[in-house]
A and B are shown apart, each in its own frame.
Chain A
Amino acid sequence: MTADQHRLSVCPGCTEPVEPADLFCGACGLDLSAAAAPAADTPTVALQTRDDTPSAPSAVPPPAADPGTDSFTLQPPAPRSADPREAGAAAPGGQACVACRAGRVDGDGYCENCGHAQPRERDHMEQESGPVAAVSDRGLRHHRNEDAFALAVATLPDGTPASVAVVCDGVSSATRPDEASAAASRTAADTLCEALPRGTHPQTAMHEAILAAARAVDALAGEPAEAREHAVQQNAPACTLVSTVVADGLLVVGWVGDSRAYWVPDDRSAPARLTEDDSWAAQMVAAGLMSEAQAYADERAHAITGWLGADSYELDPHTVSFKPDRPGVVVVCTDGLWNYAEAAEQMAEVLPADAATRPLHSARVLVGHALDGGGHDNVTVAVVPFPGPAKGAGSG
């Protein structure tokens, strides 16, 4: 389904095909105008989350009987904390189905009437942590969200806070990519939160964090043989990783794979991409064999040449440190976003001007941009404000 089909193509009540002009479903009589309205009202921001919606996690999805929040094609779960410790807490036992509204949801997460899978915890995740925020969405074309992120605020030995954001994209051609991305992002953030308070240099800590994340993904390969037995592919779990630490006037970026970080100064003077993809296209361009346009038009463009996982023989974590001379925002994202805003200038254009003060809102806008573009992949973005050069930066 493309972006302009956000309006209903089938009846949410009985899945009968409907025409755009239909006011009621011809089969079951459902009022389609009420059901379709919200999708048309919120074209930019993802998933019926209004710009001014407070980010407080709510325990249950919107009541299914409320037609104003009940779009068949886009219904997300309520925004929830991405904290993995809260995952699995939802008991879907008696909930009404979001797709047909007629059936109850069974213990396996399917509607006992229409069979539709119910939105899962990871289909749409939002989190705010200190000055940092992130949003992750399943997108419009994939059946599950294989991206993951982790946010944290660490305290340096001198008591100043350091913002940490990690974004991972599961490799779809491998088994259990969703588990790989979750394990990698969590492990990397945990490692950074342990190393930074000990006074480890952020760039060294970043390097260690990526290696730790790689080990965590490697460890998954040895897990339940049963889970892998029926899988089509037998590749070990794998994912990309991009992470940033903002600490004391320093901006450190680390990555493996084709997830990216962009620098967008508040004054929009010179936005820049901070990462070099481990991808076929990037290698072609770097080797001077193709122009950027040619390379990214090739169907192999997104084949990645570096990743975390058991099949990766030579892990080469990239880490870079910057000392920006002005305040700005780091956009840390998967290709589900940057496919729709590839150049740093495009990213700067999409990013709201007040990103530094409203990071969650900005992350939602960026995800909405990707969904409006077609949402062909999972979309995950973290927005990390950089407050400006450290006071007394002369020493560092």
Chain B
Amino acid sequence: MAILSKPDVPRFSVDVYQNEYLPEGAGEVNAVVTVTASGGGTLKGPAFAGGHGGHGERGGGDRAPDAAVVIMVDCSGSMDYPPAKMRGAREATAAAVDTLRDGVRFAVVGGTHVAREIYPGEGRLAVAGPDTREQAKQALRRLTAGGGTAIGTWLRLADHLLSTADVTIRHGILLTDGRNEHETPEALTSALEHCAGRFTCDARGVGTDWEVKEVTAIASALLGTADIVADPQNLAADFTSVMETAMGKGVADVALRLWTPAGARLRFVKQVAPSVEDLTDRRSEAGPRAGDYPTGSWGDESRDYHVCVEVPPAGIGREMLAARVSLVVPRPDGGADSLGAQGLVRAVWTDDLAASTSIDPQVAHYTGQAELAEAIRQGLEARKAGDADAATAKLGRAVQLAGLSGNADTAKLLSKVVDVVDEAAGTVRLKTKVAEADEMTLETRSTKTVRVKRRPHES
């Protein structure tokens, strides 16, 4: 395996948090793996040059950016009701274009029941610069509402455009305001399967007439973020920040590689921060006893993963490597480039009950955060189904968990859906009147997690 040594590729580090001690006969090993990428020279667009990008020798524009971005804007008829949505979408796209770093390839796609190239057209990508940015913004006037919604076609066009560029980072930004009504769900699923691993994509829903599950499914399949922008006025700010993040990516197609010993069973692999994303079913085999789990592209950032392995129990006093965690960029030829860092998840059998019964604070925290996301999902589903008792119980548990773990953002979102009687006990009453935007915001953001306050000396 070669080691990537490009100067602008972030350096990765892996930290493992676990209680490795198991009682006799036990085999379940839990660990939280923190992956941190740094030193990638995160850059901002021209408007932000001189900000906190930091690395002077990599000033914006000096280096040909190795990225391509396609912005997909919903142009279905509903975008004109109210007209603020179409206006907001145009302004947001203009803001995103302004945030493009010089040299980045880009295109704008208008989406209805078919996908249409708005800029530059003819199946090409433009190269960001003062002229092309201006031309693109002029072309946005052609973003007009009229037609249906078939998101699969937008994604396939984006994929086609992105595939014309020989770049490291391929990214999409997708905005929709309605349900995917003009193609079958299978068509969207098949488009997502086609695009998965070819580019990453952030998805945004504007207004409240879109389907949370569709938008989160797109972001999940394409390893991007999902969010709601209920008020079209806030779109520009959101697109700016999404594009800034995209511009900061330095390495794509990173996979979390897990080796586990013979006889072991990987029970689950979840990203748990910044949001919960179950990766267990996305394994691709990578040699004997090893599998790769896709994590998409990375800039300077840190993510946490919860790994749960069942190993064959061994005798008291024995020690076993339960998992070896590393980061790789798989190559098309079946090989992989190592990103250097690795972490060891261990199992040590002991008859010291004090040691084997304690739970690592990180593992406990993220177990709680995953349960929180699940409680919100189940609670909202029960509420929609009219099962008030189940909804009250689940959302009450969610309020309790959010309070316990200090997830203030989620607690605040919950308080717009339920009246909290007693946070510690998880006693709540369902609100009789809930704004649709509040419920959708809670649903969309239910998987957002907070980290344990740790390593205070670092802050």
Contacts and interface: CB of A to CB of B under 8 A. Distances in A.
| Bound pair (A, B) | yes
Most buried by A among B262, B347, B358: B262
B316 A232 contact: no
A23 interface: no
A73 interface: yes
Interface stretch (A109-117, A206-214, A333-341): A109-117
A15 interface: yes
A114 B347 CA distance: 12
Most central of A111, A117, A141, A143 by chain B CB within 10 Å: A143
A177 interface: no
A1 B315 contact: yes
Dominant secondary structure at the B interface: loop
A144 B21 CA distance: 13
A142 B348 CA distance: 9
Contact of B320 (A110, A112, A144): A110
Given A143-B348, A143-B349, A232-B355, A114 B320 contact: yes
A115 B358 contact: no
Contacts of A144: 319
B264 A115 contact: yes
B350 interface: yes
Contacts of B455: 229
Given A15-B314, A141-B351, A116 B263 contact: no
Nearest to B347: A115
A113 B350 contact: no
Interface string B304-325: 0000000110111111111000
B294 to A, nearest CB: 24
B261 interface: yes
B30 interface: no
B93 to A, nearest CB: 46
A115 B320 contact: yes
A86 to B, nearest CB: 23
Contacts of A100: 262
Interface in A256-273: none
Contacts of A143: 317-319, 348-350
A297 B89 CA distance: 77
Interface in B322-360: 322, 344, 347-351, 355, 358
A140 interface: yes
B19 A232 contact: yes
Contacts, number: 73
Nearest to B352: A172
Interface residues of A, number: 29
A348 to B, nearest CB: 29
B187 to A, nearest CB: 44
B260 interface: yes
A141 B315 CA distance: 8
A9 B310 CA distance: 19
A85 interface: no
A108 interface: yes
Interface string A129-154: 00000000011111110000000000
B311 A115 contact: yes
Given A108-B321, A116-B320, A142-B317, A232 B358 contact: yes
A141 B262 contact: no
Interface string A96-127: 00001011000010111111110000000000
Given A141-B317, A141-B351, A143-B319, A113 B312 contact: no
A72 B246 CA distance: 52
B412 interface: no
- Rank and list the top 3 A-B pairs by shortest CB-CB distance, nearest first: A115-B261, A110-B321, A117-B319
9 contacts: A15-B312, A100-B262, A108-B321, A115-B260, A115-B321, A116-B314, A117-B320, A140-B316, A141-B351
Given A15-B314, A117-B321, 17 more contacts: A1-B315, A9-B315, A14-B263, A102-B262, A111-B261, A113-B289, A114-B262, A114-B320, A115-B262, A115-B264, A116-B318, A116-B319, A116-B321, A117-B319, A141-B351, A143-B318, A143-B319
Interface of A: 1, 9-10, 14-15, 73, 100, 102-103, 108, 110-117, 138-144, 229-230, 232, 376
